[in-house]
A and B are shown apart, each in its own frame.
Chain A
Amino acid sequence: MDGLLTGALYALIGMGLALIFGVMRIVNFAHGAFLMLGMYASWVLFDKYQVNPYLAFIPGGLFLFVFGYLVYQSLIRPIRNRSDFMQILMTTGISLILVDSVQLKFGADYHQTNIELVNRTLRVGSFTLNAASLLSFAIAGVLIIGLQQFVVRTRTGEALRAIAQNPSVAPLMGINVTRIQGFSFALGIMMAGIAGGLLLPALYLFPSVGEDYTLKAFVIVVLGGMGSIEGAAIGGLVLGVTESITSLYLGNEWALAVDFVLFLLVLSLKPSGIFGRQRA
C-alpha cells in the first residue's frame, strides 16, 4: 500500500521524463536536478513565507515551467538535432550547474519542512496510512490523469503526439515544432518540480538529492516503454510497489538491486517495455 503512495510520485517523475523523451528524443540527465529545484522552490516558500508545502508546489511548479521553457530556448534548442552524445553532455552539464548553483546559494546543509500533517496517521483497523503521503498520492493522481487526458484530448496534445510519431512530417502538417517542443520540455520539467514539491514533506533536502531520482526515472521510463506517457505512469506505480514488497520480504538493502534487475530484465527480454508496443 505504501508502495502505491510512493509509486504515484515515481509515476509523476517518470511521465515528465517520458514526455521529454517522446517529443524530443532527448534523454534528460538533468531530470533529478529539476526535481531538486522543485523541492527548493517549495522549501523557500515554506521557510520564508510559511506556505504549506501542499500549496507551495503550485507556484513551485509554475516557476519550473517558466524556467524549463527558458532552458529549452537557450540551451536545448541549439542542440536538439545534434548527436545523442551532445545531448547527454548538455543535460549532464545542466544538472551539474543546477546542483552546484543551489549549493552556492543555499549551502550544502540539510533542510526539512516539519508540518503537522506528516506526523498524523490514519488508522483503519490494523492498517496505518500517513495522512501526508495520502494527500501527495491524491494530488499526484489528479495530475497524472490530467496530463494523460491533456495529451489525448486537446489540440496541443495531438500536436505533441504527432511530433512524437514523426518529427519530420509534423511540421509539414502545420505544427510549430519549436513551440511544441519548448512547451513539452517545460511541462516535463514542471512535472519533475511538482513531484519534488510533493516529496519534500516526506524527505529532506540537500543539493544532490535528485541524483537517485534521475536513475529511478530511467528505470520507470524503460519499464513503461520508452516515450510512452501512460506506460511511465504504470511503470512508476510498478516500481513503487516492487520496492515496497522487496523491502518488506527481502530487506531494504535489496530494493535498489531488484529495481535494476527488473530494469535489465525488461531491457533484454522486452525492450519496448512491459506495456509498450513495438515502435516502427
Chain B
Amino acid sequence: MRRLDDLFLLGKGDNMRSKIFAVWIAVSLVFSVAGVCQDTIKIGIVAPLTGSQAAFGEALKNGYVIALDEINAKGGVLGKKIELDIYDDQSKPEQAVQGVSKLVDHDHVPILLGSFSSESTMAMVPAVTQHQVPLIIPIALADNLLDSKSPWVFRVGASSADYARVTVAFLKDNGAPKTMAIVYENTNFGQSSMKAMTTAAQAAGIKLVAAESYEAKSPDYRAVLQRVKRANPEVIYFCSYLLDATTLMRQSQEIDLNPKYYTSAGTGFAIAEFPTSKGAGKNAEYTYAVMQWLPTARWAGSSQFDAEYFKRYNSHPTHHPMSAYAALQVAARAINSAKSTDSTKLRDAIRNTNLSMTPFGPIRFDLTGQNQHPLMITQVQGGQFRVVYPPDVAESKPIIPAPEWSKR
C-alpha cells in the first residue's frame, strides 16, 4: 500500500507524483484549449473596484463599458464580440500583480488594461513584461511607469512630466513668478509629480523654496501649510488625490496662506465636485488644475461621450472614464489591425497605432510607449472649471494674483 505521505516525499513516491503531474498538465491543456475556442474575445482589465480608490475604479469601469457597448454594436473585433474580464485589485499593488497572473495564466486574455493608481500600475509593469502581454495604462501619471523601457507597456494619458511642463509653460506666459513650493502626498504619484516639477521649475529658472510631503487622508495639514507659509512662495503646486484637496484649501484659508498662484497636478483639484459645495466650495476659487480632458474639449466625440455617460450614470464624466474609453478603443483597433489575438502581434499593432482624432484627442505612441497627449489648464472661476491655457482653446483669462483670503 502506498501511503499518502509518499506523495510529498522524493523516492518511491516519484511515480505517483509524475502521474499527478501528468493529469494536472492534461487538465490545464484542456482548459487552455477551451479558452481559445470561445466565441468572444476577452480583454483583461485590472481596476480598483473596492478599497480606497473605488470611486475612481467605478468611473474607469463606466468608461470601459461605454467603449465595450460601442465596439460590440459595430460588430466587435475579428467578427467576435469582445468581453471585459475585470479583476478588482482592491486598490492594492500586490493584488494588481495577482490580477495579471489570474487574467493571463488562467483566463488567457491577450491584452491587459489598467490599473488606476501609479502605485498599483507600477507593480503590474514587471508582471506584464514577464508574461509578455501588452498593457495599456489609461491614466496613471507617474513618470517611472515607463522607465523600465519595457516594450510591452503603453500609456494613453499624460505623464507627470507633461503636467509639470504645461504648468511651468503657463506660469512663464502669465507673470513669470520666481519662487515655488511643492506640496505632495507621499505616494508614487506624489513623489513622481514632485520630481517632475522640480526638474521643470529649475529648467525655467523658478526657485524651489519648499517641498513638503504629507500622509494622505489626515484631518490636519495645518503644520505642513505653516511650513509653506514661512517659505513664502509665489506659487504652490499641489499633488493631492481626492478630498485631501478640500482639506488643504480649507486649511490654507484658515492659516491665511496667500500665494499668487494655487496650481495643482489635477487629480483632487480636477474632480467635478471640487468647486461645488460637496467639495471645497468657495475655497476652490482661483485654483488651477491640469486637465487631460473636459466634456467641452474640442475633439470630435467629446460631447457625445459626455451625453452618453450622463444618460447612463447621471453625472458628468471626468478624464478618468474618458481615458479608459480611449484605452479600450486602442486595444480593439489593435486586435483588428493585427488580425490576431497573439500578444506579440498585438504589441506591434499598438505601437503602430495612429489615430488622428478620438474623443480623447490624437493617439500615437512614442518609442517609450507614451502617447503625447495635449493638456489644458483650468482655473476655478465662479464655481466652474474654465480653460485658461493654452491660449488657442482658452475660455477665459486667468485671474492673477489670487486675491488674499481677507479680501475675498
Contact = CB atoms under 8 A, between A and B. Distances in A.
Interface in B197-256: 212-215, 217-224, 226-227, 242-243, 246-247, 250-251, 253-256
A122 B218 CA distance: 22
A67 interface: no
A253 B58 CA distance: 30
Interface residues of A, number: 32
Contacts of A107: 54, 58
Interface of B: 49-52, 54-55, 57-58, 186, 212-215, 217-224, 226-227, 242-243, 246-247, 250-251, 253-256, 277-279, 281-283
A112 to B, nearest CB: 6
A253 B227 contact: no
A114 B253 contact: no
A202 B220 CA distance: 8
A204 interface: yes
Contacts of B255: 128
A209 B279 CA distance: 18
Nearest to B242: A110
Contacts of A203: 217, 219, 247
Given A119-B283, A247-B224, A252-B221, A108 B55 contact: yes
A210 B253 CA distance: 27
A151 B274 CA distance: 45
10 contacts: A107-B58, A108-B57, A109-B58, A110-B242, A202-B219, A206-B55, A208-B51, A251-B213, A252-B218, A256-B215
Contact of A248 (B218, B219, B223): B223
Contacts of A212: 217
A130 B223 contact: no
Nearest to B255: A128
Contacts of A109: 54-55, 58
Nearest to B54: A108
Nearest to A204: B243
A2 B246 contact: no
Given A110-B55, A208-B51, 18 more contacts: A103-B54, A107-B54, A108-B49, A108-B58, A109-B55, A110-B242, A114-B278, A119-B282, A121-B253, A130-B251, A202-B220, A206-B52, A209-B217, A247-B220, A247-B223, A252-B223, A252-B224, A255-B218
A243 B250 CA distance: 20
Contact of A2 (B55, B220, B243, B282): B220
Interface string A95-122: 0000010010001111010100011010
B219 A6 contact: yes
B55 to A, nearest CB: 5
A206 B359 CA distance: 32
Contacts of B256: 128
B246 A204 contact: yes
Interface in A240-268: 243-244, 247-248, 251-253, 255-256
A199 interface: yes
